[in-house]
A and B are shown apart, each in its own frame.
Chain A
Amino acid sequence: MKTLVVAFEKDGRIIPAVYEVIEAAKSLGGELLTAVLAADAEAVAADLAGRGGGKVLAVSNPALAHFNDESYAAALQELISKYKPSAVLSPATLYGKALMGRLAAILEGPMASDVTGLSVDGDKLVATRPSYGGSVVADVTAVSDDAPFFVTVRPKIYSESTEGAGEVIVEMVPDSCFETRARVTDVKVESGGSQNLAEADVIVSAGRGIKGTENVGVVRDLADALSGAFGASRAVVDAGWVPYASQVGQTGKTVNPKLYIAVGISGAIQHLVGMQSSQTIVAINKDKDAPIFNIANYSIVGDLFEIAPALTKKFKQELQN
């Protein structure tokens, strides 16, 4: 097995999900390579090499300052034809999914998306992935080894690789890789003070039970007390109380934090498919028959306007001293 991990950086730092993919790649054994494409890739390459990335292939060009589907795919195509990995792994982030879908098509390789487990059977890589909103878990393999097997790995499944001795190799690719038709002209951060859902260890989500936009703070406060991210059900987003970026569920984001607290969410299937793989689920709802209680580890039947502030107070008291 020769595995190539695709790294992404943001503001001069490798994103945490990359180290999770490196951890996954290490578990497969064999040779490990990591490609990093950036305006100044060498600046972040040493960190990758020191945290288990193996041979770190650094491609630097001003055109790589922002993620670009065309240039990233073209540059990786060069590296893949030079190093001939049997598998190419990337985090299943928005950029990762877009890039790998394209690259697999260009190189006519098989692909498995949003994988939650990787193993080796004989000399074959087996990718385990949920589908049908998590109702099915499938093991997928590549039929031939004519092209690499492309895999995106769901964030927050593997722990981050923290160590390993590697080396940095500066790679040059032809300038034609950077001639693209699409280009990023602006980058906007809109987090609204909360951290991003895909990377959060703790998510606290609001449902219709909060009754109105004026009560969003009750749930946000609880998220803040746990240093967690704030999420929401579709009903809350459709009502305009919370922006779409916070939506968890079928038409929003799929998340799997260590702790998910559902506040005033009844648990329609469309919501459950987006969060049911969370490690520990706490649900607060006034209806004891709410479907969310069927999947919760800890269920609290009660008025969220009493329970949530009590939890906020308790967590603040215990965790912030």
Chain B
Amino acid sequence: MNIVVLIKQVPEIALIKVNESANKVEFPQGPGVVNPHDEYAVEEALRIKEKVDGKTAVMTVGTDRAESALRACLALGIDEAYLISDDLFTGSDSQAIGKILSAGLKKFGDFDLALAGKQAVDSDASQVPAAVAGTLGLPQIMFVRKFEDIGGGKATVQRMTEDGYDVVETSLPAVVSVVKEINEPRLPSLKGKMAAKKKEITRWSAADLGLDGSAVGEKSGSRTVKVAPPPPRPKGEFIEGETPEEIADKLFDKLRENQVL
């Protein structure tokens, strides 16, 4: 079983600021972290490998700074890491990242499963895993909460729905995105961290992947024309009273008055 986990390095989102006059999002310093949703994909890859044997890899598109995210995955026991990096990719939208990762997976060669988190906490788009499956013409199962079975060229999974789940069977290779419910990620061991420092990271440029810069980076299909902070919430008020009942009466009146109820 050959598993490639598609990950993203993301900034600490609590520290994001919008510079409205410059029409720019300002990022905090520091290398950022592995997208929290991707941690579940990394863990699931490790668990599948422990069960059915095979090889695991992580792949990302980013700058040199993304190396730390890849090493964090290696420290957990992932076997190989691939950093796809090129100035041509700067400014790529989610669909463009899907194209680049698809080219990366093609160059990687045979794999059975491409795993990813359900979305990145910075772009909040949930596009990339499905875009990769669409580009490569592979089956996809998004928002998976459990692998019931995997092996023999197929997998059976539980796909989360708004009111429960679907059981889905697929042949492999396939692209699967996962939700938090699927597992509880392990922490790295000291030995793992030490080993990760020494591991080689394979680097690929646009040229290595046969990409000429069309439809990626600044030539992405979508363009962000304006950024702004969210509209401020109206100033709130405290509801007070001598008894819980009085508070309940006051809150009810407020909600009625403002036609919330």
B128, B231, B236 pick with most chain A CB within 10 angstroms = B236
In the bound complex, residues from chain A placing their C-beta under 8 Å from that of B212 are: none
Main SS of chain B's interface residues? Answer: mixed
- Which residues of A from 212 to 255 have beta carbons under 8 Å from B? 226, 243-245, 247, 250-252, 254
Tell whether B228 is near chain A: CB-to-CB under 8 Å: yes
A105, A133, A185 pick with most chain B CB within 10 angstroms = A105
In the bound complex, residues from chain A placing their C-beta under 8 Å from that of B225 are: 126, 139-141
- A182 interface neighbour in B37, B98, B174, B180, Cβ under 8 Å: B174
A73, A97, A140, A302 pick with most chain B CB within 10 angstroms = A97
- B93 interface neighbour in A110, A139, A199, A251, Cβ under 8 Å: A110
- B128 interface neighbour in A101, A196, A226, Cβ under 8 Å: A101
Tell me the minimal C-beta distance from A285 to chain B in angstroms: 11
- Which residues of A from 279 to 321 have beta carbons under 8 Å from B? 279-282, 293-302, 306-307, 309-311, 313-315, 318-319
Smallest CB gap from B39: residue in A: A251
Mask, B213-254, CB within 8 Å of A = 1, is 001000111111111111101101111100111011101101
B228 touches A181 (CB 8 A): no
B169 touches A250 (CB 8 A): no
In the bound complex, residues from chain B placing their C-beta under 8 Å from that of A133 are: 13-14, 16, 121, 124
Known: A113-B124, A280-B260. A297 touches B229 (CB 8 A): no
- Which residues of B from 136 to 195 have beta carbons under 8 Å from A? 139-143, 145, 156, 159-171, 174, 179-181
Known: A104-B127, A190-B164. A132 touches B122 (CB 8 A): yes
CA distance A299 to B18 in the complex (A): 28
Known: A187-B166, A298-B254. A110 touches B221 (CB 8 A): yes
For chain A, the count of residues having a C-beta within 8 Å of the partner chain is 99
B224 touches A138 (CB 8 A): yes
Tell me the minimal C-beta distance from B243 to chain A in angstroms: 8
CA distance A280 to B123 in the complex (A): 25
CA distance A149 to B245 in the complex (A): 52
B260 touches A182 (CB 8 A): no
B140 touches A301 (CB 8 A): no
B134, B225, B255 pick with most chain A CB within 10 angstroms = B134
Tell me the minimal C-beta distance from B155 to chain A in angstroms: 9
B170 touches A94 (CB 8 A): no
Tell whether A81 is near chain B: CB-to-CB under 8 Å: no
Tell whether A163 is near chain B: CB-to-CB under 8 Å: no
A108 touches B133 (CB 8 A): no
Tell whether B130 is near chain A: CB-to-CB under 8 Å: yes
In the bound complex, residues from chain B placing their C-beta under 8 Å from that of A277 are: 230
In the bound complex, residues from chain A placing their C-beta under 8 Å from that of B95 are: 104-105, 108-111
Mask, B111-130, CB within 8 Å of A = 1, is 00000000001111111111
In the bound complex, residues from chain B placing their C-beta under 8 Å from that of A243 are: 181
CA distance A133 to B14 in the complex (A): 8
CA distance A137 to B232 in the complex (A): 12
Smallest CB gap from B233: residue in A: A295
Smallest CB gap from A66: residue in B: B166
A182, A226, A313 pick with most chain B CB within 10 angstroms = A182
Tell me the minimal C-beta distance from A275 to chain B in angstroms: 12
- A297 interface neighbour in B128, B140, B227, B237, Cβ under 8 Å: B237
Tell me the minimal C-beta distance from B159 to chain A in angstroms: 8
Tell me the minimal C-beta distance from A21 to chain B in angstroms: 15
Tell me the minimal C-beta distance from B104 to chain A in angstroms: 15
In the bound complex, residues from chain B placing their C-beta under 8 Å from that of A57 are: none
Tell whether A131 is near chain B: CB-to-CB under 8 Å: yes
Known: A140-B224, A301-B238. A101 touches B127 (CB 8 A): yes
CA distance A140 to B222 in the complex (A): 7
In the bound complex, residues from chain A placing their C-beta under 8 Å from that of B229 are: 135-137
CA distance A217 to B230 in the complex (A): 34
CA distance A71 to B118 in the complex (A): 21
B230 touches A130 (CB 8 A): yes
Tell me the minimal C-beta distance from B28 to chain A in angstroms: 11
A306 touches B244 (CB 8 A): yes
B162 touches A94 (CB 8 A): yes
Known: A113-B124, A136-B229, A137-B228. A318 touches B252 (CB 8 A): yes
In the bound complex, residues from chain B placing their C-beta under 8 Å from that of A103 are: 134
B125, B145, B163, B255 pick with most chain A CB within 10 angstroms = B163
CA distance A67 to B168 in the complex (A): 10
Tell whether B132 is near chain A: CB-to-CB under 8 Å: yes
In the bound complex, residues from chain A placing their C-beta under 8 Å from that of B93 are: 110-111
In the bound complex, residues from chain A placing their C-beta under 8 Å from that of B245 are: 310, 313-314
* A-B interface, 8 closest residue pairs, ranked by CB to CB distance from nearest: A101-B130, A105-B134, A110-B221, A310-B244, A182-B170, A244-B181, A110-B222, A98-B142
Q: A-contacting residues of B (Cβ < 8 Å)? A: 13-14, 16-18, 25, 36-37, 93-95, 98-99, 121-135, 139-143, 145, 156, 159-171, 174, 179-181, 215, 219-231, 233-234, 236-240, 243-245, 247-249, 251-252, 254-255, 258, 260-261
Between A and B, 11 residue pairs with Cβ closer than 8 Å are A69-B140, A97-B142, A106-B134, A110-B221, A113-B126, A133-B121, A182-B170, A187-B167, A199-B162, A293-B236, A307-B244
Please give 9 more A-B residue pairs, beta carbons under 8 A apart, in addition to A140-B224, A310-B245: A94-B159, A98-B130, A102-B134, A136-B18, A139-B225, A149-B222, A191-B163, A298-B255, A313-B248
